[in-house]
Amino acid sequence: MADIRVEHLHKEFGTGVEKVVALDDVNLDVSGHVFVSVVGPSGCGKSTLLNVLTGIENPTRGKVEITHEGRDAFPGYVFQSPRLLPWRSVMDNLIFVHKDRSKETRERCRRYLGMVGLEDRGSKYPGELSGGMQQRVGIARAFSTEPDVLFMDEPFSHLDAITARSLRRELHDMWKATKKTVLFVTHDVGEAVELSNRIVVFAKGGTIKDDITVDLPFPRDPADQDVAIAKADVLRKFEELDLIAT
Amino acid sequence: MAKTLDASPDQLQKITHGQETRVAARKKRLRAVKRWGWRIAGYVFFLLLWDVASGTLMSDRLLVPPAGVAREIGEIFQSGDLWMHLSSTLQKIGIGFTLAFFLGTTIGLLTQSRWWEAFFKDWVTSTMTTPGLVYALVVGVIFGFSPIGPIVAIVFASFSYVTVNVAEGIRALPKDLIDMSKAFRVSPGSRLRNVIFPHLAPYLFTGVRYGFSIAWKVTVLTEVFASNKGIGFIMRVEFQLFSMAGLLAWISIFFILMLFLEKGILQFIEQRFFRWRQEVKLA
Ligand SMILES: Nc1ncnc2c1ncn2[C@@H]1O[C@H](COP(=O)(O)OP(=O)(O)O)[C@@H](O)[C@H]1O
Ligand SMILES: [Mg+2]
């Protein structure tokens, strides 16, 4: 579990006429065992937010802080594309993000490869796997570090519906069992409603437009009436908010 | 057949996957055998051509036949001259190219800054396009018979090939993978070993390969003009003695050595380094 605190966060890229404002005065507090989805049209700064939170990018102004029991929290990150080292085997790709290379670590990596259904592909190179399999390796890699906080950037958007559905269920079980904090970027409202306690809505220009609480019991079946109604409610809200206007 | 029918879809996939890999591996082996066949045929053909031409198209004193050259090579082997000249040349190349490699890499790293790029750019380009003969002549005049001459010539003639390739490799650094390792708090040392170096390796190889072949040519050329040891020097001696057998023998030795270094050593290292590419190509 972790505490995420974002205060008056601005992020700009470039200068002068080429300046792009990716995030504009973002304030966000996420605390404890919650699953937060971030939704919004493309180009509204969702990936940038995760990059700033994980330390890949520095904020232009403002403050971000991720702590776990008073110390810096260890993050896990599932990217939109797999981002695997093509010159290392699948297993070594997982081990790469671990500080200690002990037997327990190997064992744990193997277990998470099994979770995404790839236990027998550990010795393959990423290039020998399909795109969907590679993405699953990326997911196993992030899970295998058993992070305090897990960031996911549209992790299932390139997967087939069946695989995505089963991984969504795995993700939910893991979240429940390990009491992690998860920040999950998606453009799929159904997915957001199915998985999260909270949906943070971004609009073009990198501002937060809404913060919706989804108060339904887990596990949620997308076919359930309550879930379908909640999804329709969220979609209706999006229309009222007019997220694409700047 | 019955067995495959019983298998679950998952097992079925495994079976066919295994078969595919085996078929692909066999095809690959066959291709390799065929390639070797053609290669040997090439040797046989040109040696025969040489043999026939000697004595018909040209006098066999000018174009000594392969057998004569082989006899000469045998004599060179026995005389002990071979090792002296060979080791002299190899030493110069070893020292010269090591220096060129480090100089080339350093400049390649520096030119990431656009100021240093402006500083070095024209020098890198002009050292690259200057013919090896020019270096040979200049160092011959300046250093005389000292082994420093060829070494300096090697450094000038070959560093730029390393520079250009290193610079290109760095420009193409995989930002997404570096960002990934930052997010997972991977240490800079591990990042260097597991991300940056494997990415740069093929660029370094290309640089070494080109640079090394240039280094060879320049060394031999320099030795022809100003040296009292080495393969180039002995070629000049044979030339002055009008000994075609000796000249051809040394050329053949040079050729065999180059082939060994290129195919035996460089390619071996390359294959070990880039095994992942082979496997991926097979899949
Ligand atoms: N490294 C970068 N350099 C310049 N512009 C960037 C960079 N990263 C993102 N941007 C810009 O910032 C804006 C937000 O991008 P991003 O966070 O990727 O959006 P999203 O993930 O919501 O689709 C876009 O206009 C994008 O072009
Ligand atoms: Mg994005």
Residues B138 and B162 in one domain: yes
For residues B73 and B47, membership in a common domain is answered with: no
Looking at the 3D structure of chain B, how many domains does it have?
2
Q: Is A74 on the interface with B (CB under 8 A)?
A: yes
- 3-state SS of A41-80? CCCCCHHHHHHHHCCCCCCCEEEEEEEECCEECCEEEECC
Domain co-membership, B97 together with B151: yes
Residues of B in contact with A71 (CB under 8 A): none
CB-nearest partner of A125 from B14, B194, B276: B276
A132-142 burial by CB neighbour count: b if 16+ within 10 A, else e? Answer: ebbbbbbbbbb
A87 to B184: CB separation less than 8 angstroms, yes or no: no
DSSP 8-state class, residue A122 = T
pLDDT in tens, A15-62: 889 999 999 999 999 999 999 999 998 999 999 999 999 999 999 999
Q: Is A44 in the pocket of ligand 1 (CB under 6 A)?
A: yes
| Residues B72, B31 within the same domain | no
HSE value, Cβ hemisphere, 13 Å, CA-based, for B186: 28
Listed range (A53-67, A128-142, B6-20, B206-220) with the worst mean pLDDT: B6-20
Distance (Å, whole) CA B66 – CA A200: 82
Beta strands in A40-180 (DSSP E): 61-68, 71-72, 75-78, 149-153
Measured in Å, residue A43 CA sits from the centre of ligand 1 at: 6
- Could you report the per-residue pLDDT of A184-223, keeping only the tens digit for each? 999 899 999 999 999 999 998 899 999 999 999 988 988 8
Choose among A182, A168, A184: nearest CA to A221. A168
Instruction: Using most ligand atoms within 8 A of CB, pick from A23, A39, A47, A204 the residue to mutate for ligand 1.
Output: A47
User: How confident is the model at residue A181, as a pLDDT?
Assistant: 94
Which residues in chain B have their CB less than 8 angstroms from residue A125's CB? 276, 279-280, 283
Return the CATH number at B267: 1.10.3720.10
A5 burial level (CB within 10 Å; 0-12, 13-18, 19+): middle
By residue range, what is the domain housing residue B181?
66-273
The number of the ligand 1 atom at minimal distance from the alpha carbon of A40 is: 22
User: Within 13 A of B271's CA, how many CA atoms are on the CB side?
Assistant: 7
* B280 inside domain: no
Question: For residue range A115-148, what is the model confidence (pLDDT) as tens digits?
Answer: 888 999 999 999 999 988 999 999 999 999 999 9
Cα A204 from Cα A241, distance rounded (Å): 11
Q: Which of A74, A87, A97 minimises the CB distance to B198? A: A87
List the 261-280 stretch of B: residues with Cβ below 8 A of A.
Answer: 274, 276, 279-280
Helix (H) or strand (E) holding A133: helix A131-144
B182 touches chain A (CB under 8 A): yes
B98 shares a domain with B24: no
So what's the pLDDT on residue B278? 76
B125 and B197 in a single domain? The answer is: yes
Residues B124 and B245 both lie in one domain: yes
Residue B191 lies in a domain: yes
What value does the CA radius of gyration of chain A take, rounded to a whole number of Å?
Answer: 18
Is residue B78 included in any domain, yes or no?
yes
Question: Prior bond to B66 cis, omega within 30?
Answer: no
Among A229, A205, A204, A206, CA closest to A216 = A229
User: Alpha-carbon torsion B4, B8, B9, B10, what sign?
Assistant: negative
What single letter denotes the amino acid at residue A101?
A: R
- In terms of domains, do B31 and B79 share one? no
Asked if A205 contacts A21 with a C-beta cutoff of 8 angstroms, the reply is: yes
